[in-house]
Amino acid sequence: MTIITLTSDLGRHDYYTGVIKGALLSTGVPLQIVDITHDIKAYNIVEASFVVRNVYKSFPRGSIHIVSVNNFDGDKKRFIAIEHEGHYFIGPDNGIFSLIFEEMPKKIYAIPYKNKSTFPLTDIFAYGVAHITSEKPFKEIGKQVRKPEQRITLQPVISKSQIRGSVIHVDNYDNVILNIKKDLFRRVQAGRSFSLFFKRYDPIKSLSDHYSDVPVGETLCLFNSANYMEIAINMGKAASLLGLAIDDTVQIDFHD
């Protein structure tokens, strides 16, 4: 049985996700459909890429990951299928996959479809799943795409004694996730003490292992399960209370 994951900005109020699931099950292929989330903010490929990037490796090789966010952005309106490290991906060629992968995979193919319907996603996703689960070579799914759409994401600015990063995600608990990963932090830190500055608040000067390491209502920073640095408040809403939002900058100074 093939695992299909679904990540979208389609929401749960309307019938759209149900129609897509029905089309997938109507292929006749034995499938296990897993909803990752349908609560991505409308058109927000940055948020969607963060979710998919940090979830797909938890699934077995051979899984098919359908990403349905901002599907018809731009003039191309092209959908692509990708094979990467034993996983398959189907979604719009709107730059989202350049944000999911550190380096774009080589096996990228355009999925053919007739743009006559106001909601062609059912045909596109069903065709992609049916082909991938068949015994046909993956490359026969469509024409090879040599120049997929690219999007640029903000990267931390690094010097010998400083990292300047930014907010890339706010989770359901209002924890603030930064584009600073644990290995980068440790490499630049080199055993030194640090101060994490944001807005006009007093800096955070120590790393926590758990949210409960500080009293309720106190601010902390830690590395989450995906190894990204977080600013959080124990039992509180950090983004709202600290006034932090996507793309806000933070600064870490290291002290000898």
Is the pLDDT at 22 greater than 90? The verdict is: yes
Of 26-30, 71-75, 80-84, 144-148, least confident by mean pLDDT is: 71-75
Per-residue pLDDT for 64 more than 70? yes
Using alpha carbons, list the distances in angstroms from residue 32 to 25, 57, 64, 116. Answer: 9, 17, 10, 29
What's the mean pLDDT when you consider all of the chain? 93
Nearest of 190, 192, 218 to residue 204 by alpha carbon:
218
Averaged pLDDT, 189-204:
95
Give the model confidence (pLDDT) of 239-253 as tens digits.
Answer: 999 999 999 999 999
Domains annotated on the chain, with CATH: 2-141 (3.40.50.10790), 157-255 (2.40.30.90)
User: Over the stretch 103-120, which tens digit does the pLDDT of each residue have?
Assistant: 899 999 999 887 666 778
Residues found in the chain? 256
CA dihedral sign, ordered 206, 212, 214, 220:
positive
Region 142-148 average pLDDT: 94
Can you tell me the distance from the alpha carbon of 100 to that of 121, in angstroms, rounded to the nearest whole number? 21
Of 49-53, 149-153, 225-229, which range is least confident? 149-153
Q: Is the pLDDT of residue 98 over 80?
A: yes
CA nearest neighbour of 20 among 76, 79, 99, 62: 79
Model confidence at 74: pLDDT above 80: no
Give the distance from CA 85 to its chain's centroid: 17
Q: What percent of the chain has pLDDT over 90?
A: 88
For 217-239, what is each residue's pLDDT tens digit?
A: 999 999 999 999 999 999 999 99
Q: How far apart are CA 97 and CA 86, in angstroms?
A: 16
Does position 163 have pLDDT exceeding 60, yes or no?
yes
Q: According to the 3-state scheme, what is the secondary structure of 205-253? A: CCCCCCHHHCCCCCEEEEECCCCEEEEEECCECHHHHHCCCCCCEEEEE
The pLDDT value recorded for residue 12 is 87
- In this prediction, residue 40 carries a pLDDT of 94
Q: pLDDT tens-digit profile of 168-194?
A: 999 999 999 999 999 999 999 999 999
The enclosing H or E element of 20 equals helix 16-25
Asked if pLDDT for residue 73 goes beyond 70, the answer is: no
